[in-house]
Amino acid sequence: MKIIVPVKRVIDANIKVRVKTDRSGVELNNVKMAMNPFCEIAVEESIRMKESGAAEELIVVAAGPQQSQETIRTALAMGADRGILIQTDVPLEPLAISKLLKAVIEREEPGLVVMGKQAVDNDNNQTGQMLSAMLNWSLGTFVSKIEIEDDGFQVVREVDGGLETVRLSRPSVITVDLRLNEPRYASLPNIMKARRKPIETLTPDELGVDVTPRVDVLEVNEPPSRQAGVRVANAEELIEKLTNEAKVL
């Protein structure tokens, strides 16, 4: 079985995001970038499948600027076999990313796509669902456990009421949640080996996909500062403030 794992380059999750002075977006210059944390979990799980003998090849795919090669190299150092970069400087929306991934998947013909449930930069949580619909593949979202079966996969999903277990037929798209695993750190020898692993570079035009943005960002603003809390002496005072000041009771 061949596995494809889409990965995304985002601002490091430990960095405070700053809005540009002209409010056109967030500041990306001189900011530490990293692989999306949910993508790391997807890469780790796919590597474990390969190590167990359930998968033969692991391909990571990134869409974005030339610097996204760094994100692919990180996945290669973790244990992926090869990478594909769909290079474009156009801001990509979930629909465009889904179309690009569909084109790559039709070329590579994998049996499974494992991806993060969302990217931490925009939190759209749309690409996996759109991709599954375009491919007409079975879909498991918010997955925290994967078991490989002869004819498909059994997955445990994180849902509002707790956990849900479902069976998926192959081929499948699986979007993963935080509890699935703990991603490994790439060792120095593997980082050196990753430099020799192949990365194919494509463009949206070569894949026949129009990535023109469909949404115009009018303005980006910082969230309002959090107000200090108020101490109350007893439950009666709390109820009085909730009733008369906050007006939530």
pLDDT tens-digit map of 116-141: 999 999 899 999 999 999 999 999 99
pLDDT > 90: percent of the chain: 83
* Residue 81: domain span: 2-244
The predicted pLDDT at position 249 comes to 80
How many whole angstroms separate alpha carbon 98 and alpha carbon 211? 10
Does residue 249 lie in a domain region?
no
The predicted pLDDT at position 192 comes to 94
How many whole angstroms separate alpha carbon 87 and alpha carbon 204? 7
How many whole angstroms separate alpha carbon 94 and alpha carbon 96? 6
Does residue 214 lie in a domain region?
yes
Strands, E, within the chain: which ranges? 2-7, 9-11, 33-35, 57-64, 82-87, 112-116, 138-149, 152-159, 162-169, 172-176, 199-202
Q: Give the pairing type, strands 162-169 and 152-159.
A: antiparallel
The predicted pLDDT at position 52 comes to 95
Does residue 176 lie in a domain region?
yes
Does residue 15 lie in a domain region?
yes
Residue of 28, 190, 211 whose CA lies nearest to 103:
211
The predicted pLDDT at position 223 comes to 86
Does residue 185 lie in a domain region?
yes
How many whole angstroms separate alpha carbon 57 and alpha carbon 104? 15
* C-alpha dist (Å) from residue 227 to 9, 93, 230: 33, 34, 9
The DSSP letter of residue 203 is -
Give Cα 173 to chain centroid, integer Å: 13
pTM for the model: 0.88
Segments of the chain with pLDDT less than 50: none
The DSSP letter of residue 83 is E
Residue 207: count of CB within 10 angstroms of its CB: 18
Residue 61: CATH number of its domain: 3.40.50.620
180 contacts 66 by C-beta, under 8 angstroms: no
Does residue 148 lie in a domain region?
yes
Residue of 146, 46, 185, 139 whose CA lies nearest to 61:
46
Does residue 142 lie in a domain region?
yes
Question: Structurally, how many domains does the chain consist of?
Answer: 1
Does residue 13 lie in a domain region?
yes
